[in-house]
């Protein structure tokens, strides 16, 4: 991978200009030691047609896992065109898409919006799919005067810093991820069952490998319901060992995303954009802004099958 690190000894959080053949004007400021960088001097709409600029942004994304930009004059057509450079866009079976721009989900929280609590949980998008999202591009249309931040978490760091005995225990473990148990839980029984039939639970490794960087990632989140291959003689002496042993371990693993040292928090303003690698992160939209209004538009990108 192209060297995209700051100069040796560069203090975290200090801005530095990325030097490249076409992209020397991009200024990159790391926001934490673990995750996140703000880009300045770039308009992502230009990357729709500029291959070098897009390659630079993608390289920075692999390094920092989530990128932030402010003051982006981005039309919906440009939004989906930019996101489509990463891959095909996906629809959402519950949230739906903008009718004129397939793959663009409007996440509008207004005063008369029905309450829901799916965003304000640490999660990785679409792990209930066989092929979870590769990533997403989120554009702020309207932000509340106070609150409404989003948090992202580096799940590579969450895995790297696990105790050695836990890493050994979870090696080879697999887990189920469910849309029925999350989005479907508030639906009438018939609709919930129909949703499950359309999207059966997906099974993924507890530790996945990033397909581009080779990094190991802790891959459990709010959509994860249970391990599928925990009940072995090595883990279960008697039946009563099964439930607490597995559930306590899963709860412990899911809780790692709440460690502040793995996180970055972003304050939205109209025209700001976040681009994140969904394979190696989790995120949490903080719902602390009522009676403020928050209007976001997201283009999710189809991913690969985790291994």
Catalytic residue IDs: 123, 125, 283, 298
Q: Nearest to residue 175, comparing CAs of 122, 220, 123?
A: 220
Which residues are bridge partners to 40 per DSSP? Answer: 27
DSSP secondary structure string, 74-136?
--HHHHHHHHTTTS-B---TTT--BTTBTTEEEEEE-TTPPP--SSSS-B-TTTTSSS---EE
Give dist(CA 196, CA 192) in Å, integer. 6
Helices within the chain (DSSP H only): 51-64, 76-83, 155-160, 164-170, 189-198, 239-255
Give dist(CA 144, CA 296) in Å, integer. 11
Structure tokens at 168: 């050994």
Structure tokens at 172: 């080879």
Per DSSP, 257 falls in state G
CB 287 within 8 Å of CB 117: yes
- Residues, the chain: 307
Q: What is the largest CA-CA distance in the chain?
A: 63
Helix, strand, coil percentages, rounded to 5, for the chain: 25, 25, 50
Per DSSP, 279 falls in state T
Structure tokens at 136: 């997403």
């Amino acid at each position: 991978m192209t060297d995209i690190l700051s100069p040796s000894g560069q203090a975290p959080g200090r801005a530095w200009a990325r030097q490249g053949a076409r992209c020397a004007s991009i200024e990159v400021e790391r926001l934490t030691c673990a995750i996140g960088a703000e880009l300045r001097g770039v308009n992502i709409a230009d990357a729709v047609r500029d291959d070098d600029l897009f390659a630079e942004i993608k390289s920075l994304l692999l390094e920092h896992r989530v990128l932030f930009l402010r003051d982006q004059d981005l039309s919906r057509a440009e939004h989906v065109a930019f996101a489509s450079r990463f891959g095909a866009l996906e629809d959402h079976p519950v949230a739906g898409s903008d009718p004129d721009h397939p793959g663009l989900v409007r996440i509008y929280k207004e005063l008369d919006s029905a309450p829901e609590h799916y965003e304000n949980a640490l999660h990785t998008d679409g792990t209930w799919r066989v092929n979870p999202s590769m990533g997403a591009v989120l554009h702020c249309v309207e932000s509340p005067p106070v609150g409404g931040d989003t948090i992202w978490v580096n799940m590579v760091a969450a895995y790297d810093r696990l105790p050695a005995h836990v890493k050994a225990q979870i090696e080879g473990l697999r887990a189920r991820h469910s849309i029925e148990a999350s989005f479907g839980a508030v639906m009438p029984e018939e609709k919930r069952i129909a949703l499950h039939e359309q999207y059966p639970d997906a099974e993924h490794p507890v530790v996945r490998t990033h397909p581009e960087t080779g990094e190991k990632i802790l891959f459990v989140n709010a959509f994860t319901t249970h391990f599928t291959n925990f009940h072995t003689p090595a883990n279960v002496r008697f039946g009563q060992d099964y439930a607490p042993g597995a559930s306590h371990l899963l709860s412990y693993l899911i809780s790692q995303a709440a460690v502040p040292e793995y996180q970055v928090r972003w304050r939205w303003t109209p025209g700001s954009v976040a681009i994140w690698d969904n394979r190696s992160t989790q995120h949490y939209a903080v719902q602390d802004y009522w009676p403020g209004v928050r209007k976001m538009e997201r283009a999710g990108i189809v991913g690969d099958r985790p291994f």
